[in-house]
Structure 1
Amino acid sequence: MADTSAYGSPSCVERLKSYVNTQKGFILAAEILVSFIIIICYASSWCGGYTTVPICEMTMSMIFFGIFMMDLDKQFSGINWVWTDLFRAAVGAVLYIITSLINLIGGSRDGACMAGAVFGLFAGLIFAYDTYTIFLQVQSNRQHSAAPTGEKNSFC
Protein backbone atom coordinates (compact mmCIF):
# COMPACT_ATOMS: atom_id res chain seq x y z
CA MET A 1 0.00 0.00 0.00
CA ALA A 2 1.18 3.46 -0.81
CA ASP A 3 1.59 6.11 1.86
CA THR A 4 -0.86 8.87 0.98
CA SER A 5 0.54 11.36 3.49
CA ALA A 6 3.83 11.52 1.57
CA TYR A 7 2.14 13.09 -1.44
CA GLY A 8 1.02 16.18 0.44
CA SER A 9 -2.65 16.12 -0.55
CA PRO A 10 -5.14 14.93 2.07
CA SER A 11 -7.20 11.85 1.39
CA CYS A 12 -10.92 12.02 0.74
CA VAL A 13 -11.74 10.73 4.22
CA GLU A 14 -9.51 13.37 5.83
CA ARG A 15 -11.20 16.09 3.76
CA LEU A 16 -14.60 14.72 4.75
CA LYS A 17 -13.75 14.74 8.46
CA SER A 18 -12.29 18.24 8.35
CA TYR A 19 -15.17 19.65 6.28
CA VAL A 20 -17.89 18.20 8.53
CA ASN A 21 -16.24 20.01 11.46
CA THR A 22 -16.88 23.38 9.78
CA GLN A 23 -20.20 25.19 10.22
CA LYS A 24 -21.18 24.89 6.55
CA GLY A 25 -20.20 21.22 6.43
CA PHE A 26 -22.22 20.43 9.54
CA ILE A 27 -25.29 22.21 8.15
CA LEU A 28 -25.06 20.37 4.82
CA ALA A 29 -24.54 17.03 6.60
CA ALA A 30 -27.62 17.74 8.76
CA GLU A 31 -29.64 18.59 5.63
CA ILE A 32 -28.61 15.31 4.00
CA LEU A 33 -29.38 13.24 7.10
CA VAL A 34 -32.79 14.80 7.78
CA SER A 35 -33.74 14.53 4.11
CA PHE A 36 -32.86 10.82 4.19
CA ILE A 37 -35.04 10.31 7.28
CA ILE A 38 -37.93 12.10 5.54
CA ILE A 39 -37.51 9.89 2.46
CA ILE A 40 -37.81 6.82 4.68
CA CYS A 41 -40.89 8.21 6.45
CA TYR A 42 -42.73 9.20 3.27
CA ALA A 43 -41.75 6.03 1.40
CA SER A 44 -43.21 3.84 4.13
CA SER A 45 -46.48 5.77 4.34
CA TRP A 46 -49.53 6.15 2.14
CA CYS A 47 -48.37 9.59 0.99
CA GLY A 48 -45.35 8.35 -0.94
CA GLY A 49 -45.74 11.02 -3.59
CA TYR A 50 -44.20 13.56 -1.26
CA THR A 51 -40.78 11.87 -1.54
CA THR A 52 -39.93 14.09 -4.52
CA VAL A 53 -38.96 17.11 -2.40
CA PRO A 54 -36.63 15.26 -0.01
CA ILE A 55 -35.02 13.29 -2.84
CA CYS A 56 -34.28 16.45 -4.83
CA GLU A 57 -33.09 18.41 -1.82
CA MET A 58 -30.91 15.58 -0.54
CA THR A 59 -29.34 15.19 -3.97
CA MET A 60 -28.64 18.91 -4.28
CA SER A 61 -27.22 19.02 -0.74
CA MET A 62 -24.96 16.07 -1.53
CA ILE A 63 -23.75 17.75 -4.72
CA PHE A 64 -22.95 21.00 -2.91
CA PHE A 65 -21.36 19.07 -0.03
CA GLY A 66 -19.02 17.38 -2.50
CA ILE A 67 -18.26 20.61 -4.34
CA PHE A 68 -17.44 22.55 -1.19
CA MET A 69 -15.58 19.65 0.45
CA MET A 70 -13.27 19.15 -2.54
CA ASP A 71 -12.86 22.95 -3.04
CA LEU A 72 -14.22 22.69 -6.57
CA ASP A 73 -15.99 26.02 -6.08
CA LYS A 74 -12.57 27.72 -6.19
CA GLN A 75 -11.60 25.91 -9.40
CA PHE A 76 -14.80 26.59 -11.34
CA SER A 77 -15.20 30.34 -11.09
CA GLY A 78 -17.74 30.61 -13.91
CA ILE A 79 -20.56 29.95 -11.45
CA ASN A 80 -21.27 32.17 -8.48
CA TRP A 81 -21.43 29.37 -5.92
CA VAL A 82 -22.57 31.53 -3.01
CA TRP A 83 -25.66 32.79 -4.82
CA THR A 84 -26.39 29.32 -6.23
CA ASP A 85 -26.19 27.85 -2.74
CA LEU A 86 -28.40 30.65 -1.40
CA PHE A 87 -31.03 29.87 -4.03
CA ARG A 88 -30.81 26.11 -3.29
CA ALA A 89 -31.25 26.60 0.45
CA ALA A 90 -34.09 29.13 0.10
CA VAL A 91 -36.04 26.93 -2.32
CA GLY A 92 -35.46 23.92 -0.05
CA ALA A 93 -36.76 25.79 2.99
CA VAL A 94 -39.90 26.95 1.20
CA LEU A 95 -40.65 23.55 -0.35
CA TYR A 96 -40.16 21.66 2.90
CA ILE A 97 -42.35 24.03 4.87
CA ILE A 98 -45.13 23.97 2.25
CA THR A 99 -45.21 20.18 1.85
CA SER A 100 -45.00 19.61 5.60
CA LEU A 101 -47.85 22.01 6.32
CA ILE A 102 -49.97 20.36 3.63
CA ASN A 103 -49.45 16.98 5.28
CA LEU A 104 -50.02 18.27 8.81
CA ILE A 105 -53.12 20.31 8.01
CA GLY A 106 -54.55 17.66 5.68
CA GLY A 107 -55.29 15.35 8.57
CA SER A 108 -53.71 12.21 9.85
CA ARG A 109 -53.27 9.80 6.98
CA ASP A 110 -50.92 7.55 8.92
CA GLY A 111 -48.14 7.82 11.46
CA ALA A 112 -45.27 7.66 9.00
CA CYS A 113 -46.71 10.54 6.98
CA MET A 114 -47.10 12.64 10.13
CA ALA A 115 -43.53 11.82 11.18
CA GLY A 116 -42.31 12.81 7.73
CA ALA A 117 -44.22 16.09 8.01
CA VAL A 118 -42.72 16.87 11.41
CA PHE A 119 -39.22 16.05 10.19
CA GLY A 120 -40.03 18.15 7.12
CA LEU A 121 -40.73 21.17 9.30
CA PHE A 122 -37.43 20.54 11.08
CA ALA A 123 -35.69 20.29 7.69
CA GLY A 124 -37.36 23.53 6.64
CA LEU A 125 -35.84 25.21 9.69
CA ILE A 126 -32.39 23.77 8.89
CA PHE A 127 -32.63 24.99 5.30
CA ALA A 128 -33.87 28.39 6.50
CA TYR A 129 -30.90 28.64 8.89
CA ASP A 130 -28.59 27.72 6.02
CA THR A 131 -30.21 30.46 3.93
CA TYR A 132 -29.66 32.95 6.77
CA THR A 133 -25.97 32.05 7.16
CA ILE A 134 -25.40 32.29 3.41
CA PHE A 135 -27.19 35.66 3.34
CA LEU A 136 -24.87 36.91 6.10
CA GLN A 137 -21.92 35.72 4.02
CA VAL A 138 -23.24 37.59 0.97
CA GLN A 139 -23.66 40.76 3.03
CA SER A 140 -20.15 40.54 4.46
CA ASN A 141 -18.69 39.95 0.98
CA ARG A 142 -20.61 42.93 -0.38
CA GLN A 143 -19.38 45.23 2.43
CA HIS A 144 -15.77 44.15 2.03
CA SER A 145 -15.79 44.54 -1.76
CA ALA A 146 -17.31 48.03 -1.77
CA ALA A 147 -14.30 50.33 -1.81
CA PRO A 148 -14.42 54.10 -2.12
CA THR A 149 -13.29 55.37 -5.50
CA GLY A 150 -12.25 58.83 -4.36
CA GLU A 151 -14.32 60.53 -7.03
CA LYS A 152 -16.94 63.11 -6.18
CA ASN A 153 -20.24 63.04 -7.96
CA SER A 154 -21.15 66.45 -9.32
CA PHE A 155 -24.53 67.17 -10.71
CA CYS A 156 -24.09 70.15 -13.03
Structure 2
Amino acid sequence: MAADTTETSSASVGERLKGYVRTQKGSILATEIVLSLIILICYASSYYGGYTAVAIVEMVMAIIFFGVFMMDLDKQFQVVNWLWSDLIRAAIGALLYIITSLICVIRGAGDGALIAGGVFGLIAGVLFAYDTYTIYLQIKSSRSQTAVPTDERV
Protein backbone atom coordinates (compact mmCIF):
# COMPACT_ATOMS: atom_id res chain seq x y z
CA MET A 1 0.00 0.00 0.00
CA ALA A 2 2.79 2.45 0.79
CA ALA A 3 4.24 1.96 -2.68
CA ASP A 4 0.92 2.93 -4.24
CA THR A 5 0.75 6.15 -2.20
CA THR A 6 4.30 7.11 -3.19
CA GLU A 7 3.62 6.52 -6.87
CA THR A 8 0.43 8.58 -6.72
CA SER A 9 2.12 11.51 -4.97
CA SER A 10 5.09 11.49 -7.36
CA ALA A 11 2.72 11.43 -10.34
CA SER A 12 0.88 14.35 -8.76
CA VAL A 13 4.13 16.32 -8.41
CA GLY A 14 5.05 15.50 -12.00
CA GLU A 15 1.65 16.64 -13.21
CA ARG A 16 1.92 19.82 -11.16
CA LEU A 17 5.38 20.46 -12.61
CA LYS A 18 4.17 20.04 -16.18
CA GLY A 19 1.10 22.15 -15.54
CA TYR A 20 2.99 24.93 -13.77
CA VAL A 21 5.71 25.20 -16.42
CA ARG A 22 2.95 25.87 -18.97
CA THR A 23 1.80 28.98 -17.07
CA GLN A 24 3.39 32.36 -17.71
CA LYS A 25 4.94 32.61 -14.23
CA GLY A 26 6.16 29.01 -14.36
CA SER A 27 7.83 29.46 -17.73
CA ILE A 28 9.51 32.69 -16.57
CA LEU A 29 10.87 31.01 -13.42
CA ALA A 30 11.99 27.92 -15.37
CA THR A 31 13.80 30.14 -17.88
CA GLU A 32 15.43 32.08 -15.02
CA ILE A 33 16.68 28.79 -13.54
CA VAL A 34 18.09 27.55 -16.87
CA LEU A 35 19.72 30.89 -17.70
CA SER A 36 21.28 31.08 -14.22
CA LEU A 37 22.69 27.58 -14.69
CA ILE A 38 24.18 28.53 -18.07
CA ILE A 39 25.67 31.71 -16.56
CA LEU A 40 27.06 29.70 -13.65
CA ILE A 41 28.79 27.30 -16.05
CA CYS A 42 30.22 30.19 -18.11
CA TYR A 43 31.51 32.08 -15.07
CA ALA A 44 32.94 28.90 -13.49
CA SER A 45 34.88 28.06 -16.65
CA SER A 46 36.32 31.57 -17.01
CA TYR A 47 39.56 32.77 -15.47
CA TYR A 48 37.64 34.84 -12.91
CA GLY A 49 35.31 32.57 -10.97
CA GLY A 50 34.23 35.21 -8.48
CA TYR A 51 31.11 36.15 -10.39
CA THR A 52 29.52 32.74 -9.82
CA ALA A 53 27.95 33.87 -6.54
CA VAL A 54 25.29 35.97 -8.29
CA ALA A 55 24.29 33.09 -10.55
CA ILE A 56 24.18 30.60 -7.66
CA VAL A 57 22.07 32.81 -5.39
CA GLU A 58 19.62 33.79 -8.13
CA MET A 59 19.27 30.20 -9.32
CA VAL A 60 18.60 28.92 -5.79
CA MET A 61 16.07 31.69 -5.11
CA ALA A 62 14.28 31.00 -8.41
CA ILE A 63 14.15 27.28 -7.56
CA ILE A 64 12.68 28.05 -4.13
CA PHE A 65 9.99 30.33 -5.54
CA PHE A 66 9.29 27.86 -8.36
CA GLY A 67 8.69 25.13 -5.78
CA VAL A 68 6.57 27.34 -3.54
CA PHE A 69 4.33 28.53 -6.36
CA MET A 70 4.15 25.11 -8.06
CA MET A 71 3.02 23.34 -4.88
CA ASP A 72 0.68 26.22 -3.90
CA LEU A 73 2.57 26.68 -0.64
CA ASP A 74 2.05 30.44 -0.97
CA LYS A 75 -1.62 29.85 -0.16
CA GLN A 76 -0.83 27.65 2.84
CA PHE A 77 1.92 29.76 4.44
CA GLN A 78 0.43 33.22 4.48
CA VAL A 79 2.85 34.55 7.10
CA VAL A 80 5.13 35.55 4.24
CA ASN A 81 3.84 37.91 1.59
CA TRP A 82 5.04 35.80 -1.34
CA LEU A 83 4.12 38.31 -4.01
CA TRP A 84 6.19 41.12 -2.49
CA SER A 85 9.04 38.71 -1.70
CA ASP A 86 9.05 37.58 -5.32
CA LEU A 87 9.03 41.21 -6.48
CA ILE A 88 12.07 42.01 -4.32
CA ARG A 89 13.84 38.82 -5.52
CA ALA A 90 13.25 39.62 -9.18
CA ALA A 91 14.21 43.31 -8.85
CA ILE A 92 17.44 42.53 -7.01
CA GLY A 93 18.20 39.77 -9.52
CA ALA A 94 17.71 42.16 -12.44
CA LEU A 95 20.00 44.78 -10.90
CA LEU A 96 22.72 42.31 -9.93
CA TYR A 97 22.73 40.54 -13.28
CA ILE A 98 22.85 43.77 -15.27
CA ILE A 99 25.64 45.26 -13.15
CA THR A 100 27.83 42.15 -13.01
CA SER A 101 27.21 41.34 -16.67
CA LEU A 102 28.27 44.79 -17.81
CA ILE A 103 31.42 44.46 -15.72
CA CYS A 104 32.14 41.03 -17.22
CA VAL A 105 31.55 42.12 -20.82
CA ILE A 106 33.69 45.23 -20.42
CA ARG A 107 36.46 43.45 -18.50
CA GLY A 108 36.41 40.13 -20.38
CA ALA A 109 38.92 40.85 -23.15
CA GLY A 110 40.58 37.54 -23.99
CA ASP A 111 38.26 35.48 -21.79
CA GLY A 112 35.49 34.10 -24.00
CA ALA A 113 33.71 32.30 -21.17
CA LEU A 114 33.48 35.50 -19.13
CA ILE A 115 32.10 37.42 -22.11
CA ALA A 116 29.58 34.63 -22.84
CA GLY A 117 28.50 34.67 -19.19
CA GLY A 118 28.16 38.44 -19.39
CA VAL A 119 25.98 38.25 -22.49
CA PHE A 120 23.76 35.57 -20.97
CA GLY A 121 23.71 37.66 -17.79
CA LEU A 122 22.40 40.66 -19.70
CA ILE A 123 19.66 38.47 -21.16
CA ALA A 124 18.88 37.19 -17.67
CA GLY A 125 18.81 40.77 -16.36
CA VAL A 126 16.20 41.68 -18.95
CA LEU A 127 14.19 38.54 -18.07
CA PHE A 128 14.34 39.33 -14.36
CA ALA A 129 13.27 42.91 -15.11
CA TYR A 130 10.32 41.57 -17.13
CA ASP A 131 9.45 39.29 -14.21
CA THR A 132 9.57 42.32 -11.90
CA TYR A 133 7.20 44.18 -14.22
CA THR A 134 4.70 41.30 -14.38
CA ILE A 135 4.76 40.93 -10.60
CA TYR A 136 4.22 44.69 -10.23
CA LEU A 137 1.19 44.48 -12.52
CA GLN A 138 -0.13 41.56 -10.47
CA ILE A 139 0.26 43.52 -7.22
CA LYS A 140 -1.38 46.56 -8.80
CA SER A 141 -4.37 44.54 -10.03
CA SER A 142 -4.78 42.76 -6.69
CA ARG A 143 -4.80 46.11 -4.88
CA SER A 144 -7.46 47.54 -7.17
CA GLN A 145 -9.64 44.45 -6.66
CA THR A 146 -9.41 44.61 -2.87
CA ALA A 147 -9.86 48.38 -2.62
CA VAL A 148 -13.04 49.28 -0.81
CA PRO A 149 -14.91 52.22 -2.30
CA THR A 150 -15.52 54.99 0.17
CA ASP A 151 -18.67 57.00 0.17
CA GLU A 152 -18.16 60.45 1.64
CA ARG A 153 -21.91 61.13 1.90
CA VAL A 154 -22.33 58.73 4.84
What's the TM-score once normalised by structure 2's chain length? 0.92
Q: Which amino acid aligns with 2:47?
A: W
Alignment length (residue pairs): 151
Bigger drift between 89-98 and 139-148 goes to: 139-148
Structure 2 runs not aligned, ≥5 long: none
TM-superposed deviation, 1:47: 1.4
Trace 1:76-91 onto structure 2 (pairs within 5 A): 76-91=77-92
- Which stretches of structure 1, 4 residues or longer, exceed 2 Å deviation after superposition? 1-5, 149-153
Q: Provide the identity percentage.
A: 63
Bigger drift between 86-95 and 101-110 goes to: 101-110
Equivalent residue in structure 2 for 1:2, among 1, 4, 11: 4
Q: Which amino acid aligns with 1:148?
A: P
Trace 1:46-125 onto structure 2 (pairs within 5 A): 46-125=47-126
Do the aligned partners of 1:35 and 1:57 also contact (CA within 8 Å) in 2?
yes
Query: Which structure features the higher share of helix residues?
Result: 2
Do the aligned partners of 1:39 and 1:51 also contact (CA within 8 Å) in 2?
yes
Do the aligned partners of 2:108 and 2:114 also contact (CA within 8 Å) in 1?
no
TM-superposed deviation, 1:2: 2.3
Of structures 1 and 2, the larger Rg is shown by: 1
Equivalent residue number for residue 144 of structure 2: 143
Q: Which amino acid aligns with 1:105?
A: I
Do the aligned partners of 1:19 and 1:69 also contact (CA within 8 Å) in 2?
yes
